[in-house]
Amino acid sequence: MLSLSTPAHPKAFGRIAIVGKYQADGIEDRLRELAKLAIGEGCEVFLEAATAANTPITDYPHKKIEDFAGSIDLAIVLGGDGTMLGIGRQLAGSQVPLVGVNMGRLGYMTDIPIQDVQTILRQIIAGEYEADERTLLDAVVLRNGTEINRALALNDVVVNRSGISGMVELAVKVNGSFMYNQRSDGLIVSTPTGSTAYALSAGGPILHPRVAGILLVPIAPHALSNRPIVLPQDAKTSIEVISGREVIVNFDMQSLTHLQIGDRIEVRQSDKTITLLHPRGHSDYKTLREKLHWNEYPSTF
């Protein structure tokens, strides 16, 4: 019988950090389970500092996310896609790959079911995985030419009205070329990753994660001729608020800035990326089929 300190096979990742959605029910037991598994594979285990501060687990050393680069080989994210979005933005450009373990419904990015983690995580730690690089957006909010906020987005940058105000009017330019003045409930600028999020519910197309493009999707436009469009990856989109009350810009729906008339948001693809690790045999189409409840052909197809 192997001891916990003796790995069952060679490992690709020696230093592992575990990040958890600490508000979730049963998170403590799940975190302990993951830590025990990683230690059993011969890994050094750390708990992300906020996760540790919000759980009673004291068995493992803590490490802040900003200190992962150069000291962590793999980050395991336990939660849902929202948790992965927040961690992904913070680790963008750090060269620390991420593995997503979901505790409930299958996620697009957190695609390892908790009931399968014992088998799949061992395989990934041993180097049996598929790597998936994802792009982010870099957004700058300008007021009178002065930067008042800057943020990354893994899913999308959304300029929209509040729930109680009327339409907003936005002037949109791409690479300095005027595209249109749009009256609508707002505008979504999305990565391929975000094409299955808010952009999808607003009528946008699904982009495969390897598509090198940026998606613009109007939200309930006044003119039905305002359609979603896929821009090249080097496009710089400028969005100016022409009119409207209580206009905001959201970044992955996790942070926001309140806007004024004349404010401008400039969005481009970031030079930072993240890398997601999936089990061998991972299929984006299988994930879409299961999430969107597409009809399945018989297994003999």
Active-site residues, by number, are: 81
The CA distance from 182 to 289, in Å, is 34
The CA distance from 38 to 118, in Å, is 10
The CA distance from 122 to 119, in Å, is 6
In this structure, are residues 13 and 38 in contact, taking their beta carbons and an 8 Å threshold?
Answer: no
Name the one residue in this structure whose structure tokens are 């009673």: 56
Q: What is the DSSP letter of 14?
A: -
The CA distance from 114 to 92, in Å, is 25
The CA distance from 49 to 52, in Å, is 5
Name the one residue in this structure whose structure tokens are 């990015």: 109
Half-sphere exposure (Cβ direction) of 11: Cα atoms closer than 13 Å: 21
In this structure, are residues 34 and 19 in contact, taking their beta carbons and an 8 Å threshold?
Answer: no
The CA distance from 114 to 24, in Å, is 13
Among candidate residues 188, 249, 197, 245, the one with its CA nearest the CA of residue 220: 188
